[in-house]
Amino acid sequence: MDPQTDSLPLKGIRVVDFTWVVAGPVATRILADQGAEVIKIERKVPGFMGARRTGLQGNLNRDKLSVAINMSEPTGIELARRLVAKGDIVIDNFSARVMRQWGMDYPSLRALKPDIICISMSGLGHTGPRKDYVSYGPTLQALSGYTMMMTDVDGIPAGYGYSYADMAGGYTGALAALIAMWHRRRTGEGQFVDLSQFEAVCSVLGPGLLDVCANGRAYQPPKYRSQEAPAAPHGVFRCKADAGSADRWIAISARSQLQWRKLTVAMGSPGWASDPKYQTLYLRMKNAAELDARLSEWTAGLEAEELMFSLQEAGVPAGVVSDGEYLCARDQQLKSRGYWSTVKIPDGAQTQVDGIPFKMSATPASVRTCAPEIGESADYVLGEILGLSAAEQEALISCGAIWP
Amino acid sequence: MNQGGALSGLRVLDLSDHRGALCGRLLADMGADVIKVESPLGDPSRRIGPFLDDLPHRDRSLFFWFYNLNKRSLALDVSRPRGGALLLELAKSSDVLIDSSKPGTIDKLGLGWEVLHEANPALILCSLSPFGQTGPYRDFDADDTVLAALGGMLYVNGFAGKPPVRPLGLQSYHSGAYYGAIAIMSALFARDRAGVGQWIDLSLQAATASAVEHVSSSYFADRMIEPRRGTLHWSRYFRVGRARDGHIMHCTLGDWTTLIEWVSGDGKAQDLAGSEWKDFTYRRDHAEHLFDVLDEWIKDYDCDDLLARAQALRLPYATVRAPESLMEDEQLAARGFFAEVEHPELGRSIRYPGAPYLFGGTPWRIYRRPPLLGEHTGEILHDDLGKPLDELAALAAEGII
């Protein structure tokens, strides 16, 4: 019994987690945070994927368990199958052939445990002419249009500086697991979910893709044109250097006439703002380039954070363009809500990781344990779950089925 | 209704605006009965374009359609006491209520958490708001761009010295919607155990921060502020390159020997054939030079040829494509990604971008096209709630429904 986890929503759900890199671990992180018992099955390769307790891998793998099983050995596969038989959900993010080669595809695992849920988060899906494409988040962003449409001011296709596709694939995978589990709770039926990370990231393109479908319109890079209700000014504006950085920007968005009036008052009602060419939203959008240049002249002399507070006080949507330090160490809101979580590392140190973006009133979750070193949970997983004696575990080590 | 969906039997009252609308849709797509509760004047997002054939009309907004597929529409003015009372009655037979109004708004309407919880202790309230229900920014206003800024999703895109590049699509809202649906599912599992619902307080800013890959971990591990690196991915294993007829995405995480044999065979390897490049950390640390050489190599290739050859060698290359190319994408077509939705009132069917996942047992489905304003008011209040028709007529006359 563990009072810290007993009330968590997913307590009692066991996830056998074959995922690696980013997208899959994002999915299982979400499940682990809500109380599922997530057991990573991993290869033990020293230094592979970088530090484990801290950094990206520390952030992705907190609240999980790890056992180092060698899936190249038949005895290793047999061990993994025994674990699946005691599990509820199996998740992988390999291409379709890997789990099949191991005899761990859905039909095989269903024969082992009839109500098993298998979520396979491959790059392009298990079917179709390109199912064997090798991909990573950035290549999926290129194929789906993000890279080309996220142009900078000079028209260069910059795209995301990171793998948003992995994050989107991750939250999609977690939701799929929960929905499949819900169905099983009600009917006793497991199932296979074929999640193509490509399709996951295509499906969050949003209404713009429906515009292509319905109106046949080609995309244009939106740059800072509002992608929701029209707004002007709408964009990012350079601010004065402050103690933290010389590269400070503020995002400002004025949708309504009232917000525009409040903005002009906040600017001290400069003469140019009463020019007829800025008097309606339509005209401000039409003359956005000039308007943005005017606004930039004003913001250039101001500190971003102070400006955010004064504009928000005046009722104008505005926010600092947070860099890593501002986001993690200065942002008062995330701090006040306890978003960043501190986890203890066994050597007495500690690190901070992303927290959980929602708070639940009755079953509040929190990040509990740091990421395990590879193979760290062998005693619990092999000893307690599978009931293997110390001698049996030693034998598995000698035959190369597990790493010590 | 909604027979066979994984979430069939769940009823969701969706009071959210466009910031939260995807959350309810994710549940509706899997079979939940999601009732969009909108003002008799229409949800404001019905006025957001683009519009079908560019004809602005509340029942032709593609923006509204995308986020409200598979939902029913109840036109109800919850700001008036009788409207609020009706909503409370509906809440008694519902599982979830989604709200994205400013913190405090539903309390002022007499529909706050305590009231809802007393009316139906099993109800789950999911509040999606820009910054959450607590904290110093609680009452700040934000659109998706401001959230991308404060969530750390903006700063790291684009070139140093130039303005940060904004995400394509409303990805702060989308991240929030997915986390909202995840939170709702978690609360449903908790309800199975404890019998009672709970209040979910979701911050879109935090959801945005959760959907950024690397910024926080670089800061917490090394106190490093991740910069904008132009077209170079933060990991330094990917960079946009220019081929003869367009852009491609380089990737140096595939088998290095295979890649360098190909490049050498073309006589373009320069110094990359040296053994130091076999170490992937060396490739990372000298990425800009590496990609400069590879850019020289690909400049006479056509994108599609390069992609086909790279993938045949299992090198994770990709072409940089426009989103409209998805319409012709063989892989999406083979897997049925696009779904035809009948719009009988228009006498035509329209293709919609479809499922983010293929469920073997309980597939993602089109149950109904996006609703016309108030299309299901009668069936919800009369058939489901049992209100007599004369009462509905009176409510309609007063503009409450």
Chain B contact for A49, CB < 8 A? no
Exposure string (b/e) for B99-130, b if CB count within 10 Å is 16 or more?
A: bbbebebbeebebbbeebbebbeebbbbbbbb
- What is each CA distance from B217 to A355, A374, B255, in whole angstroms? 12, 19, 27
How many A-B residue pairs are in contact by the CB < 8 A criterion? Answer: 526
d(CA B163, CA B157): 9
The closest alpha carbon to B45, from B70, B66, B76, belongs to: B66
Average pLDDT over residues A295-324: 98
Q: What pLDDT does residue B3 have?
A: 56
d(CA B175, CA B66): 16
Average pLDDT over residues A223-241: 96
A 329-358 → B contacts, CB under 8 A: 329, 331-334, 336-337, 339-340, 351-358
Answer whether residue A202 shows pLDDT above 60: yes
Residue A132 banded pLDDT, cuts 50, 70, 90: very high
Residue B15 banded pLDDT, cuts 50, 70, 90: very high
Report the first-to-last Cα separation within chain A, whole angstroms.
28
DSSP string, A108-119: HHHHHSTT-EEE
Average pLDDT over residues A190-200: 98
Measure CB to CB from residue A339 to each of B147, B209, B321 and give the nearest one.
B209
The closest alpha carbon to B154, from B202, B205, B201, belongs to: B205
- The per-residue pLDDT for range B144-173, each reduced to its tens digit, is 999 999 999 999 999 999 999 999 999 999
CB within 8 Å: B206 and A191:
no
Q: In DSSP terms, which residues pair with A67 in a beta bridge?
A: A41
- The per-residue pLDDT for range A90-129, each reduced to its tens digit, is 999 998 899 999 999 999 999 999 999 999 999 999 999 9
d(CA A360, CA B159): 39
Average pLDDT over residues A274-290: 97
CB within 8 Å: A178 and B199:
no
C-beta neighbour count of A278 within 10 angstroms: 21
d(CA A200, CA B337): 10
Beta pairing class for A192-196 and A117-122: parallel
DSSP string, A295-345: HHHHHTTSBHHHHHHHHHHHT--EEE---HHIIIII-HHHHHTT-SEEEE-
Choose from B65, B311, B335, B348 for mutation: most chain A CBs within 10 A: B335
The closest alpha carbon to A79, from A383, A376, A374, A391, belongs to: A383
d(CA B105, CA B221): 40
Chain B contact for A242, CB < 8 A? no
Q: Which residues of A touch B16 (CB under 8 A)?
A: none
Average pLDDT over residues A70-97: 96
Q: Report helix, strand or coil for A53.
A: coil
B233 catalytic residue (yes or no):
yes
Shortest CA gap B377–chain A (Å) = 26
- The per-residue pLDDT for range A342-386, each reduced to its tens digit, is 999 998 999 999 999 999 999 999 999 999 999 999 999 999 999
